Amino acid sequence: MARIETPNRIRGTQDIFGDEQRRFAAVLETFERVRRLFAFQRVDVPVFEATAVFARSLGETTDVVSKEMYSFEDRGGDSLTLRPEFTAGIARAYLTEGWQQHAPMKLVTSGPAFRYERPQKGRFRQFHQLDAEILGAGEPTAEIELLTFASQLLDELGIGDEVTLQLNTLGDAETRDAWRAALVAHFESRKDELSEDSLARLEKNPLRILDSKDPRDRPAADSAPDIDAFLTAEARGFFAAVTAGLDAAGVAWTRNPRLVRGLDYYRHTAFEFVTDRLGAQGTVLAGGRYDGLIEQLGGPPTPGIGWAAGIERLAMLVSEPAPEQIDAAVVPMGEAAAVRAQEVIAGLRRAGVSADMGFRGNMKKRMAKANAQGARFAVILGDDELERGEAAVKDLASGEQMSVPLDRLAVVVADMVIEAELRAEGDDASERLIEAGLVRRGDEAQPR
């Protein structure tokens, strides 16, 4: 018989499992918790949109639009694109769904995004982003709200000390025009040093050269004039309000006058949280103000600001979360027990006890599996116990074992689980208080 070939995983996609999956889930859980603390609402938008949604808002000359989009014609002949990012789709929804009535809106979303890039560590073709946006607020307090959110998220992920917030202003329209002219003059004079890509950028969007990853462009890019000399009083004042607010909120930042973002729609504030732990893929969270975007999609002038973070890059930085554990492993011994075990495990789960039971194996194998799963208790159903209408419940940490009547088993085990959790939490809580220096251990107390 001919050998059947197994289709391969698509280059740049991932099957996320085990330790990686736990890290991934930990990032999402923390994001969900922190967004509630900051009163951002969750939205979910489509994975694909009309190609125009991205082409118009990101800018035709950006890397994303010119070479990274997954675009295709559907069966009806419409040009669709898998989202390369979230902001454009959210802005589209803001207009088509009449969300203006809710402005200002603080929104988050998360999920897969798609870009045709060269896959490498921390760079995929299907990757995943966390995303936060504030629509309809042009005040610098929107920057502060969004950046304190990002900063607390990174702190609660335990990586706050490993990332730096780099901040820049791209000014207002007048600032940008003046700066753009100076950049063109600068790059014109060093044309022979630029890569082909940057020569094209010089025609269409010279700011983008500053963001070039091509080492050939770096000397010319690094010696380019920075924006400061061109800032209008208004743009300068706006940026000063942002930085003063960040200082007041206790968010550390550094100025990077070279920082520009890869998409066309940014105005005023641009920022990146970067780490040196991920090599070339060091940007974990990035964004900025995009006051021109909604208009480019045919809407009324509407301020907006947002950020996106790569979940994979964050997941690589967080410490490994503890494996999931179950409350109880049900261990039937023998044929008769196997049927009763179905009743027992169903009862446990209905009582809120997480429980598992192997599909096969003798007592020894099943107990080994229970230990490997980190089960707190083993509920053992042997012939003798069943005859007495009981089960043996073994605390796998202490080895202590007791007999529990089957008709009360679920309630009793549920209770034992709660008690064990409270005990563990109690220990944790007092450890935390001791560490924080708020209380002392009893035996260390000074005699009065």
Which residues contact ligand ATP by CB under 6 A? 85, 115, 117, 122-124, 127, 129, 262, 281, 283-284, 286, 308-310, 312-313
Nearer to ligand ATP, 183 or 308 (CB): 308
To 5 degrees, how large is the angle CA 230–CA 249–CA 240? Answer: 15
Q: In the complex, what is the shortest distance from the CB of residue 228 to ligand ATP, in angstroms, rounded to a whole number?
A: 23
Give strand ranges (E) for 235-303: 254-255, 267-274, 283-289
Residue 242, both tokens: 């942002």
Residue 288 beta carbon to ligand ATP: minimum distance, rounded to whole angstroms: 9
| Closer by beta carbon to ligand ATP, 261 or else 394 | 261
Q: How far is the CB of 313 from ligand ATP (least distance, A)?
A: 5
DSSP-derived letter for residue 123 is B
The CB-side HSE value for 398 (13 A sphere, CA atoms) comes to 7
Min dist. Cβ of residue 132 to ligand ATP (A)? 11
For residues 159 and 367, which CB has a smaller minimum distance to ligand ATP in the complex? 159
Minimum separation from the CB atom of position 284 to ligand ATP (A): 5
Order of all β-strands in the sheet with 390-395: 355-356, 328-332, 377-381, 390-395, 401-405
| Farthest-apart Cα atoms in the chain, separation | 94
Cβ closest to ligand ATP, residue 94 vs residue 273? 273
Cα angle 282-283-288, degrees, rounded to a multiple of 5: 165
Q: Residue 113 CB, nearest distance to ligand ATP (Å)?
A: 7
Query: Strands 254-255, 267-274: parallel, antiparallel or unpaired by DSSP?
Result: unpaired
Specify the residue, 85 or 291, whose C-beta has the smaller distance to ligand ATP. 85
CB of 158 to ligand ATP, least distance (A): 17
Please state whether 137 falls in left (phi above 0), alpha (psi between -120 and 50) or beta.
beta
Cα 4 to Cα 238: distance, rounded to the nearest angstrom: 63
Q: Are 84 and 115 in contact (CB under 8 A)?
A: yes
Between CA 274 and CA 362 the distance in angstroms is: 52
Considering beta carbons, is residue 48 or 356 the nearer one to ligand ATP?
48
Nearest CB to ligand ATP, comparing residues 106 and 115: 115
Distances (CA, A) of 343 to 352, 381, 401, 424: 15, 12, 21, 29
Least Å distance, CB 216 to ligand ATP, is: 17
Q: Between 288 and 332, name the residue whose CB sits nearer to ligand ATP.
A: 288
- Packing angle between helix 18-37 and helix 140-156, nearest 10 degrees? 140
Q: How many CB atoms lie within 10 A of CB 366?
A: 20
Q: Please name the residue that has the structure tokens 């995943």.
A: 128
Complex with ligand ATP: residue 94 or 124, whichever CB lies closer: 124
Shortest Cβ distance from residue 197 to ligand ATP (Å)? Answer: 14
For residue 117, the minimal CB distance to ligand ATP (Å) is 5
How many angstroms separate the CA atoms of 448 and 446, rounded? 6
- Shortest Cβ 130–ligand ATP spacing (Å): 9
Whichever of 94 and 266 has its CB closer to ligand ATP, that residue is 266
Nearest of 302, 307, 299, 277 to residue 291 by alpha carbon? 302
Pick 129 or 373: Cβ nearer ligand ATP: 129
Q: How far apart are the first and last CA of the chain?
A: 88
